[in-house]
Structure formats: structure tokens, C-alpha cells
Amino acid sequence: MAMAFKVSPTIFFPIFFIIISVFISFSKAQKVPAIYVFGDSLLDVGNNNYLTISVAKANFPHNGIDFPTKKATGRFCNGKNAADFLAEKVWLPTSPPYLSLVSKSTKKKGSFNAGVSFASGGAGIFNGTDDELRQSIPLTKQVGYYSQVCADLQQQLGTQAAQDHLSKSLHVVLIGSNDIFGYLDSSSTQTQYTPEQYVDLMVSTLKQHLQRIHSLGARKFVLLGTGPTYGIFRNIEQNPSSYGFNETKAACCGLGYLNAKAPCLPVSSYCPNRRDHVFWDFYHPTEATHRILVEHCFQGSTYTVPMNVEELVSL
């Protein structure tokens, strides 16, 4: 199937999930060999643990309190996040943090075969988005790491086999919230760009990154819209009981009013009823919310265009 696509700022951000399959056709029985993940703290599974001076970390309590190991892993969540649940949907283990693989003294052959996560808390589409957080992996660098992974796969599998592997794999991208926060916090940037101009620049820059990922062999993309202000989040806020939530405003873990005056820290208070809360801390959803997001992404139709992930996988 061939599909040409053009991302428009008027439709890109209000849509929560955009699923794209480009220049590829597979049988219904085709399985997903791997998931390659690009993004920010909503998908980070531990890359920032390996960034020495980064302050955007979640490898301490009370993060991870509901994770299977009951320990903080670097996920900005009480338990699993969307990257975990999406992997479960296609019967794969969670794609490990890229930095956890390359920082080992002896990297195993085949360590990239089941997928890799490049997602990093604080990352943005633009370089420098993380200036206040001191250190993260911006999208430019994430794509650079992906290029290295592709080269490694070609050496290991051979060029044709590596291309076949990459074309069948899912490439998940969720990024942009930190760029928007950066714009709202910067009077100089607001002077330089109108909101519309800034979003246009975000979209054009993201498009360049996606084109490079595509040029390296990716064919199946799952693009998730930015921030908890559209689609399913709005639906949850308006109809919390239908999703099993009782609290849509206050964070579960934090300090101050609505637990939103400070991040989730070891000294923070946290709620005993995490399943009732939409938000874990002042920025990030709870495990329960992540699960719902993936359900909509994988099998839903309301927030997915032009198809859901289950349909994409079957191509």
C-alpha cells in the first residue's frame, strides 16, 4: 500500500493519535518484530537514569510503587507507562532504554533486535528545549542513535534482512509537550513567534525527523499527539466515572495545592488509591490512564487516524 501524507498544524496537534503506514504492504499474519520508541517523559523507561547531571529523573520513590518490581525504574509514573502497554499488545517485551545497552561493558549481539527506546524525560522536538532541566536526549540525538542502531542491525543481519526487520517494526513517536511548555515560559520566544508560527515550526521540524527515520528503513509509524489537552484526556475529564476515575484534577503524588506545587519526590505525599487518579504527578498520567490511552490507540477509532495500531500491525 502506498500512502502519501502531509502534516498540517491545523490537524496535527488536536488529533490524539495519528497512525501512518507508508509505502509498505504485508499479509494479515505479519507480526511485529520490534518497537522503536522516540519521545519524552511520557514514554521514558529509564534513559535519563544514565544522564549524570540530568535533574529530569524518576529513579527514586514514590515512582514505581505499582510497577511489578515495586521499585522506581526511571518511568515518570506509579507503574507501567504507554510504552509498556503497547509492547504487551503485540506480545513483545518493553523496548529497553538505549543508554542501558550501550553503557554496558559487553553489549550482546542482537540486543537491538526486539526494539530500543530512545525516549528521554525533558526532551523536545527542538534542541535546547531541555535547557532548564540541564540534560535530556533531544529528538535530533534520538534519531542519531537510531541511525547507529540501524547500522548495527545491518552489520549483524545483513542489509536486506535489516531493512525487512525495520520495515515490519513499529516506530512510536510522542514528543512536543516540552516545546510548548518552553514557548509559554519564554517571553523572548513569544516575541519572536506567534503561537501559530511556533506550531508551524514544530511541525516542519518534526517532519524532517520523521523523514530521516523513514529514510533509514522505518515504514510503520505511530504518532501520538502532544499533551493532555485533547481527545481522550478531555473525554476522561468530562466522563471520569465511565473510565473508573474519581479524581481528575489533583495529582496522586506531590506537594501543595492539588499536589501540583512540587514533583513526586521521596518526601512527597502520595495517594493510596492510585487507580482513582488520572494524574500521577503534576505532569504525568497514572498507570491506569496510560493503559486507557493505549486501549484507544490500539483498538479504538475515535482518536486514531487513518487506522488504529491493531489495523496497522495487520498490514
Question: Which string of DSSP letters, residue by residue, matches the chain?
Answer: --------HHHHTT-SEEEEE-S----TTPPP--EEEEESTTT-SSGGGG-TT-S----STTTTTTSTTSS--S-SSSS--HHHHHHHHTT-PPPPBHHHHHTSSSPPTTTTTTEEE---TT--SSTTTTGGGS----HHHHHHHHHHHHHHHHHHH-HHHHHHHHHHSEEEEE--HHHHHHHHH-HHHHHH--HHHHHHHHHHHHHHHHHHHHHTT--EEEEE-SSTTSHHHHHHHHSGGGGT-SBSSS-SEEBSGGG-SB---TTSEE-S-GGGBSBSSSS-B-HHHHHHHHHHHHH-SSSEES--HHHHHH-
Residues 229, 235, 238, 241: is their CA dihedral positive or negative?
negative
Q: Which amino acid would we find at residue 234? A: R
User: Among the options 21, 41, 117, 268, which is catalytic?
Assistant: 41
3-state SS assignment for residue 87 = helix
41 in catalytic set: yes
Q: Which amino acid would we find at residue 274? A: R
Question: Beta 253-254 vs 269-270: how paired, if at all?
Answer: antiparallel
CA distance 93 to 67: 15
User: Among the options 62, 165, 277, 284, which is catalytic?
Assistant: 284
User: Among the options 169, 281, 290, 296, which is catalytic?
Assistant: 281
The residues carrying an active-site annotation are 41, 281, 284
